[in-house]
């Protein structure tokens, strides 16, 4: 009788604390599911899933067919999940009085190139972080994330000269807001955004592998750009220190991200702030209504999407860049979170499928089998669509098939970086800012593939003999 009573007490404590001891058979099923996703879709990348609870990393499994497997300490690019770090940084600076999330950005006396174009008296840092500031810039986004820049002045010029202003202040997701918010933080503190992340988040939480200095990370897992035949077309991380920005510029590891999720699950601000910051970080700040894969998004916090899946509430913040796709989420009420990842572009929804399966398995959802079958079918269809649109190595333009007069440097007069066409190992290559890639030709249409994206290229000889090149909608003249 006493033993039975003790067992009941122990079980009650376990249930009350939401501490999930994953059964061996559940672990095997999750591992089998990830392997099945990869093999049935003939994937060539590295994929993993990790489960985190209030005590930290509870489960990790990585799968790859031929390439080296990822470990808990393998550096990976976390792309747009960086936004949750940046918002947490801003909340910490707000709690310490170094800045005010709700003061107009005009009060910081920082020239941002917005004056006279948007009302900076009506926009706060909170608006910037919640994507409700009402402005963005395509050139600013391209330079900060892909093409590189010479520094803050060039970014401000790009923001000012290429500003797009919305007719209202509704939620519109972009990279611009967190980057501008971080510029204000840099001006207030006299420190770079990367140094602030290290000082206020990475160091206090002992996340020693989390950094914005990609040049110092020698073993980062490369992303895989898949060719139309399913093999590797290109690989790399397609980043430089210049393009590691506050909306998508952190490298981390599973071990570090587990610490990060644990702090969020527990709302543990003890090493971060003297006052609570997590309630505001996790509460809905603005409305949004969007379905992304299986997630019904109803709002946005300071740095997380508020979503519903299978009758559960999640806070999610995903990221995509090149071949990388990362899923980071947690269920506040269940006190459990998942990190899932792939480095292969055509499998970008795989992390969400395996994350869902992990949640449904651990929570013993009765519909997990049906949902897994449905989501596996969506993954299969998605991979086939992506392969149908993937680059074909046979279409890379050789030096023998490209006019000599089209080689050389092309200049844009509106602030875009120059682009250069040149020959390397018998192939025509294109440089644009700090990125480069091969030129392809399908019929009469040229396409430059820069790894992280591809752009349609067209040439036109003008009456005076000058040569114009159009990169997407951006025009250049040969120098």
Q: 360 CB contacts (<8 Å, ≥6 apart)?
A: 310, 367, 368, 371, 372
Whether 479 and 408 have beta carbons less than 8 Å apart is answered as yes
Whether 217 and 126 have beta carbons less than 8 Å apart is answered as no
Whether 101 and 92 have beta carbons less than 8 Å apart is answered as no
Whether 83 and 145 have beta carbons less than 8 Å apart is answered as no
Q: Cα 369–315–165 angle (5° rounding)? A: 125
3-state secondary structure of 318: coil
- Chain centre to alpha carbon of residue 472: 23
What is the 8-class DSSP label of residue 104?
A: B
Taking the CA atoms of residue 256, residue 258, residue 264 and residue 267 in that order, the dihedral angle to the nearest 10 degrees is -100
Which two three-digit tokens encode residue 33? 């599911």
Digitized pLDDT (tens) for each residue of the chain, 479 residues in all = 444 444 444 444 444 456 677 889 999 999 999 999 999 999 999 999 999 999 999 999 999 987 778 999 999 999 999 999 999 999 999 999 999 999 999 999 888 888 889 999 999 999 999 999 999 999 999 999 999 999 999 999 999 888 999 988 899 999 999 999 999 999 999 999 999 999 999 999 999 999 999 999 989 999 999 999 999 999 999 999 999 999 999 999 999 999 999 999 999 999 999 999 999 899 999 999 999 999 999 999 999 999 999 999 999 999 999 999 999 999 999 999 999 999 999 999 999 999 999 999 999 999 999 999 999 999 999 999 999 999 999 999 999 999 999 999 999 999 999 999 999 999 999 999 999 999 999 999 999 999 999 999 999 999 989 999 999 999 999 99
Nearest CA to 317 out of 145, 50, 57, 84 is that of 84
List every span in the chain annotated with CATH 3.40.710.10: 22-85+199-388
Which two three-digit tokens encode residue 248? 């998508």
DSSP for 259-312 reads HHHHHHHHT--TTT-SS--HHHHHS--EEEEEEETTEEEEEE-SS-EEEEETTE
Domain 22-85+199-388 has CATH 3.40.50.300: no
List every span in the chain annotated with CATH 2.40.128: 393-478
What is the 8-class DSSP label of residue 391?
A: -
Report the CATH number of the 393-478 domain: 2.40.128
Whether 194 and 420 have beta carbons less than 8 Å apart is answered as no
Tell me the pTM: 0.94
Nearest CA to 318 out of 309, 388, 413, 456 is that of 309
Which two three-digit tokens encode residue 429? 């290559």
- CA-to-CA distance for 330 and 336, rounded, in angstroms? 6
Whether 343 and 46 have beta carbons less than 8 Å apart is answered as yes
- CA-to-CA distance for 185 and 176, rounded, in angstroms? 14
| Biggest CA-to-CA distance, the chain | 99
Query: Strand 295-300 and strand 324-331: pairing?
Result: unpaired
Taking the CA atoms of residue 431, residue 432, residue 437 and residue 440 in that order, the dihedral angle to the nearest 10 degrees is -100
Q: How many Cβ atoms are within 10 Å of 31's Cβ, its own excluded?
A: 15
Whether 475 and 468 have beta carbons less than 8 Å apart is answered as yes
């Amino acid at each position: 009788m006493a033993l039975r009573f003790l067992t009941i007490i122990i079980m009650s404590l376990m249930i009350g604390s939401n501490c999930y001891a994953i059964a061996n058979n559940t672990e095997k099923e999750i591992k089998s599911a990830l392997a099945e996703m990869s093999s049935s879709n003939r994937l060539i990348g590295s994929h993993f899933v990790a489960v985190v609870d209030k005590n930290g990393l509870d489960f990790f499994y990585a799968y790859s067919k031929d390439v080296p497997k990822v470990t808990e300490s393998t550096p990976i690019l976390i792309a747009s999940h960086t936004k949750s770090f940046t918002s947490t940084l801003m909340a910490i600076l707000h709690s310490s009085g170094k800045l005010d999330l709700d003061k107009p950005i005009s009060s910081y006396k920082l020239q941002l190139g917005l004056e006279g174009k948007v009302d900076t008296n009506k926009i706060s840092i909170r608006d910037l972080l919640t994507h409700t500031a009402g402005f963005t810039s395509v050139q600013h986004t391209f330079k900060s994330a892909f093409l590189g820049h010479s520094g803050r002045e060039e970014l401000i010029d790009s923001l000012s000269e290429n500003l797009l202003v919305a007719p209202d202040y509704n939620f519109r997701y972009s990279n611009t807001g967190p980057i501008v918010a971080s510029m204000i933080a840099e001006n207030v503190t006299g420190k770079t955004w990367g140094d602030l992340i290290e000082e206020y988040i990475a160091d206090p939480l002992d996340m020693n592998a989390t950094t914005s200095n990609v040049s110092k990370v020698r073993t980062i897992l490369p992303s895989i750009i898949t060719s139309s035949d399913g093999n590797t077309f290109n690989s790399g991380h397609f980043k430089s220190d210049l393009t590691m920005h506050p909306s998508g510029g952190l490298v981390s590891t599973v071990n570090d991200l587990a610490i990060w999720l644990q702090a969020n699950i527990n709302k543990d601000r003890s090493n971060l702030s003297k006052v609570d910051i997590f309630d505001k970080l996790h509460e809905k700040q603005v409305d949004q209504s969007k379905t992304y894969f299986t997630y019904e998004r109803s709002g946005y916090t300071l740095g997380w999407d508020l979503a519903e899946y299978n009758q559960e509430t999640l806070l999610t913040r995903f990221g995509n860049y090149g071949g990388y796709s990362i899923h980071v989420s947690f269920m506040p009420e269940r006190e459990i979170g998942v990190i899932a990842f792939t480095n292969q572009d055509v499998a970008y929804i795989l992390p969400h499928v395996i994350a869902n399966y992990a949640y449904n398995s651990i929570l013993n959802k009765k519909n997990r089998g049906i949902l897994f079958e449905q989501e596996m079918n969506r993954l299969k269809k998605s991979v086939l669509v992506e392969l149908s649109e993937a680059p074909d190595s046979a279409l890379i333009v050789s030096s023998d098939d490209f006019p000599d007069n089209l080689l050389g440097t092309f200049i844009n007069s509106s602030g875009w970086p120059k682009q250069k066409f040149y020959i390397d190992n018998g192939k025509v290559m294109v440089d644009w800012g700090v990125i480069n890639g091969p030129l392809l030709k399908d019929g009469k249409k040229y396409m430059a593939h820069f790894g992280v994206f591809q752009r349609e290229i067209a040439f036109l000889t003008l009456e005076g003999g000058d040569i114009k090149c159009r990169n997407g909608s951006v025009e250049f003249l040969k120098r």
